[in-house]
Amino acid sequence: MRLYDLIPVKSAVISSLQEDDDCRPIVNRHLWSAMAKSDEFIEDMPFEQIICTLAGARFATSETECTCVAKMMCLTLPKSDILPLVTVHSGLDLASRCLISLGLFFRAIEERCKRRGAPPPRFYRNVGIMSCKKCDMDDVAQHFTNWESYLGENFAL
């Protein structure tokens, strides 16, 4: 199934609405709702699927905030080791690793803390928030813990 097939409107209409800055958030929320209800595997447009899923976050203050988190996911998830290392990673890479690790791999962070003496999750949360602020992603920093929870609840790995 294709992403735009989830809404009973011609794909061309949805595509044109996606190009309108005022309509795009509404379309994304409808797509997110349809994705949540569907049992079908959606085979196309992975970035747009992430954006639509993030558009369901009611705490997000803007479409830009959702787009930033989507880019953080796309930047981090393809890597073989996504856990943050403050001595190696910096800037957006560190912020992304902190958010994605806490949201999707919280147990791995806890295990590193227990077994290897790594810092606890709250350390990575604070580092992630500060890194987001340094990267001028104040909305993401403000909602960092919300995003952690949202990612963990909406993206099953």
The total number of structural domains in the chain stands at 2
pTM: 0.77
> What's the confidence (pLDDT) of residue 141?
97
**CA-based nearest residue to 47, from 82, 78, 6:** 78
Q: Are residues 69 and 43 in the same domain?
A: no
User: Would you tell me the crossing angle of helices 24-37 and 63-76 to the nearest 10 degrees?
Assistant: 60
> What's the confidence (pLDDT) of residue 146?
97
Which of 56, 79, 101 is a domain's end point?
A: 56
Q: Are residues 82 and 135 in the same domain?
A: yes
Residue 16: domain span: 1-56
Q: Are residues 151 and 79 in the same domain?
A: yes
Kindly tell me if the per-residue pLDDT of 5 is higher than 80: no
- Among the ranges given (47-51, 97-101, 146-150), the one the predictor scored with the smallest mean pLDDT: 47-51
Which phi and psi angles does 116 have, rounded to 5°? -120, 0
Can you tell me whether residue 10 is helix, strand or coil? coil
Mean pLDDT across the chain: 83
As a whole number of angstroms, the distance between CA 109 and CA 113 comes to 6
- Show the CA angle centred on residue 121, arms to residues 115 and 131, nearest 5°: 130
pLDDT tens string 15-40: 666 666 666 666 666 665 666 666 66
Q: Are residues 94 and 119 in the same domain?
A: yes
Kindly tell me if the per-residue pLDDT of 75 is higher than 80: yes
**Contact predicate 38/5, CB 8 Å:** no
pLDDT tens string 88-140: 999 999 999 999 999 999 998 999 899 988 899 999 999 999 999 999 999 99
CA separation (Å) from 148 to 30, 76, 83, 132?
23, 14, 14, 13
Q: Are residues 76 and 27 in the same domain?
A: no
Q: Residue 155: pLDDT band by 50, 70, 90 thresholds?
A: confident
Q: Are residues 69 and 47 in the same domain?
A: no
